[in-house]
């Protein structure tokens, strides 16, 4: 992997991995690399979705899963200078965004929900999580980011405002605002 060709995306758009396929010969190596990537997501939230997706297959990785993991590593090699940039900012604006892929898993039909919370220009909290139950898709999805944003606002004594061009959302959805 030292001499691998860097790539511009960590995951192929529209690709779906399944449990079906040839088992990967060294499951311990797969788990070790996937675990290392999990630690990297602490400072590289752009990897959260793809690493989360790969880690769902740690119990029985296939050759296709390992190919996807190697793709993430190739992306990391080409973007090693990426990471969270924290800046001193006089703005105390608290802003949150959320998104869900709505039953995108072809096997379980469960969704992955994501959210991000900014304080000024700094990303202070984010999450990417696959729904545990199907009914939670309807009830928890709208509430979780709102709850997180309200808690952060209460703890920090700030309020939220409307979307700014400096903070692109995960999707074209309207940001969650505390009134």
Helix then strand count (H, E) for the chain reads 5, 3
> For residue 121, how far is the Cα from the chain centroid?
19
Residue 150 tokens, joined = 């309200």
Q: Tokens 């096997």 — which residue?
A: 107
Instruction: Note the pLDDT of residue 149.
Output: 58
Instruction: Note the pLDDT of residue 156.
Output: 57
pLDDT, mean of residues 17-27: 90
Of the candidates 112, 173, 117, 108, the residue with the CA atom closest to the CA atom of residue 149? 117
0.75 surpassed by pTM: no
Instruction: Note the pLDDT of residue 179.
Output: 42
CA distances from 145 to 13, 21, 36, 157 (A): 25, 36, 27, 18
Positions of E strands within the chain: 94-100, 112-119, 122-130
Residue 117 tokens, joined = 């919370």
pLDDT at residue 159 greater than cutoff 60: no
> Kind of pairing, strands 94-100 and 122-130?
unpaired
Instruction: Note the pLDDT of residue 162.
Output: 43
Strand, coil or helix: what is 145? helix
Name the least confident of 33-42, 66-75, 103-112, 130-139. Answer: 130-139
* Helices 48-55, 27-40: crossing angle, 10 deg rounding: 150
The string of pLDDT tens digits covering residues 126-146 is 887 777 765 544 545 555 555
């Amino acid at each position: 992997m030292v001499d691998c060709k860097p790539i511009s995306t960590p995951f192929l758009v529209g690709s779906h991995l399944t449990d079906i396929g040839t088992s990967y010969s060294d499951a311990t190596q797969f788990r070790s690399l996937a675990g290392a990537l999990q630690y990297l997501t602490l400072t590289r939230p752009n990897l959260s979705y793809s690493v989360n997706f790969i880690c769902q297959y740690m119990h029985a990785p296939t050759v296709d899963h390992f190919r996807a993991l190697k793709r993430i590593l190739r992306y990391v090699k080409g973007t090693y200078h990426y990471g969270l940039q924290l800046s001193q900012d006089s703005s105390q604006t608290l802003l949150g965004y959320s998104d869900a892929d709505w039953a995108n898993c072809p096997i379980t039909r469960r969704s992955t929900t994501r959210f991000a919370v900014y304080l000024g220009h700094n990303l202070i909290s984010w999450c990417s999580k696959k729904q545990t139950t199907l009914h939670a898709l309807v009830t928890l999805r709208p509430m979780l980011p709102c709850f997180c944003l309200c808690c952060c606002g209460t703890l920090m004594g700030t309020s939220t405002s409307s979307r700014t061009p400096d903070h692109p959302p995960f999707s074209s959805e309207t940001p969650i605002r505390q009134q």
